[in-house]
A = this chain, B = another copy of it.
Amino acid sequence: MSQQERTEGDLRNTGLSLKHDRTWDYELDRIVDAVEERGAEKVGLQFPEGLKRRGPAVTDDLREALPDDVRVMMSGKPCYGACDLDTYLMRRTDVFVHFGHSPMKESEKIIYVPLFSNVDVTPIMQEALDELDGDDVGLVTTAQHMNKFEEMRTWLEERGYTVHTRRGDDRLTHEGQVLGCNYASADIDADQVLYVGGGKFHPLGLAMEHPEKNVVIADPVNNSISIADQEQFMKQRYASVHKAMDAEKWGVIFCTKIGQGRWEQANEIVENNDNAYLITMDEVTPDRLRNFDMDAFVNTGCPRITTDDGPRFHKPMLTPGEYEIAVGNKPLDELEFDTFHGTW
């Protein structure tokens, strides 16, 4: 069965009889095919945090479909994106399956299984129209709702809107897709952007990167409309930068996650500051940094840890751009959202 024939998010035509009920399509046949083709003995599965509890059921179904001597294992490490592949498990398995995110880097070894939401998007889009001003509107969504993107666009066009969309850079797979760290798909010629998708994590990042645009959130999962308000975050950012201005000793974090490493940026900081120290780590958490005697930190890894979790750290945690402001290399009004473009 080809990809095209499959109704996204619908298991009824996968041809597989499943031990467990599923509302989402885990593309087990594609995994089974790959295992057989490669004569794989070990299969690694990686789920994002919200899907880990489904891991055992997916494992059951795979074990039922695969020969007895194939060993299926799940990654127990936290996972928040395709930037965050479990490289240990990947190296030690013959087939490695990453669920729930769209591909960031293609490789023969990795099977990416996107998971699409079946939720109807048009009722909440109808409500969102009240918040739009004028006929030009940008449109973005996340990987989970990508299956409905053309439907969203057509629906808006039928109602007289000129819909501006864009495929972002190499880090993004699809036209109109946003990541928590990349909003290149919103670099469009419109003053307002309609985000259709679950949660506020993505549109808040968008609003931080594009403070000049009005970001309307149409959330079909929680059935709610709102305007992305980045003001609280920006206040926190300014406060952190101010606090860090007195810092002498800086911890410069180089993240070892495969899609989050910015070596040049980290290296440049320590090259130019005798009081800066390189710290390498995968998970960047408050308890791991508490043991280091530093006055402030610069995180060259995931920017969302800095902006969203910043206040949880015992010392100010800045993005590389904010660091430049704190040490006086740049003026305060150059403060902007730290975005990842094409890093791998």
Question: Footprint of B on A, CB under 8 Å?
Answer: 44, 49, 52-56, 59, 63, 71-78, 86, 88-89, 92, 249, 253-254, 256, 267, 270, 274, 277-284, 288-289, 291-294
Contacts of A292 in B (CB 8 A): 52-53, 55-56, 74, 76
Q: In whole angstroms, how far apart are the Cα atoms of A89 and B249 in the complex?
A: 22
**Nearest CB of chain B from residue A281's CB, rounded to whole Å:** 3
26 A-B pairs (CB sep. < 8 Å): A44-B280, A49-B291, A53-B291, A53-B292, A55-B277, A56-B277, A56-B292, A56-B293, A59-B277, A63-B274, A71-B267, A71-B278, A73-B254, A73-B279, A74-B277, A75-B279, A75-B280, A75-B281, A76-B253, A76-B279, A77-B281, A77-B288, A78-B288, A86-B280, A88-B256, A283-B283
Known A-B contacts A71-B267, A267-B71; the reply to A282 vs B56 at CB < 8 A is no
Q: In whole angstroms, how far apart are the Cα atoms of A43 and B107 in the complex?
A: 31
Given A55-B292, A63-B274, 20 new contacts (CB under 8 A)? A44-B280, A52-B291, A53-B291, A53-B292, A54-B293, A55-B293, A56-B249, A56-B292, A71-B278, A73-B280, A74-B277, A75-B281, A76-B253, A76-B279, A76-B289, A76-B292, A77-B281, A86-B280, A88-B256, A88-B282
Contacts of A254 in B (CB 8 A): 73
**Nearest CB of chain B from residue A79's CB, rounded to whole Å:** 10
Quickly give the copy total for this chain. Answer: 2
Nearest CB to that of A87 among chain B residues? B88
Contacts of A288 in B (CB 8 A): 76-78
- Contact assessment for A56 and B267 in the assembled complex, using a CB-CB cutoff below 8 Å: no
Contacts of A53 in B (CB 8 A): 291-293
**Nearest CB of chain B from residue A257's CB, rounded to whole Å:** 10
Q: In whole angstroms, how far apart are the Cα atoms of A56 and B267 in the complex?
A: 16
Q: In whole angstroms, how far apart are the Cα atoms of A284 and B76 in the complex?
A: 8
Known A-B contacts A78-B288, A288-B77; the reply to A278 vs B72 at CB < 8 A is yes
Q: In whole angstroms, how far apart are the Cα atoms of A49 and B59 in the complex?
A: 36
Contacts of A74 in B (CB 8 A): 277-280, 292
Q: In whole angstroms, how far apart are the Cα atoms of A73 and B281 in the complex?
A: 11
Nearest CB to that of A249 among chain B residues? B56
Q: In whole angstroms, how far apart are the Cα atoms of A75 and B253 in the complex?
A: 10
- Contact assessment for A73 and B278 in the assembled complex, using a CB-CB cutoff below 8 Å: yes
A49, A59, A72, A73, most chain B CB atoms within 10 A: A73
Nearest CB to that of A255 among chain B residues? B76
Contacts of A73 in B (CB 8 A): 254, 278-280
Q: In whole angstroms, how far apart are the Cα atoms of A63 and B273 in the complex?
A: 12
Contacts of A55 in B (CB 8 A): 277, 292-293
Q: In whole angstroms, how far apart are the Cα atoms of A59 and B250 in the complex?
A: 13
Shortest Cβ-Cβ A-B pairs, 4 listed: A76-B281, A73-B278, A52-B291, A76-B279
Q: In whole angstroms, how far apart are the Cα atoms of A294 and B55 in the complex?
A: 10
Q: In whole angstroms, how far apart are the Cα atoms of A44 and B254 in the complex?
A: 13
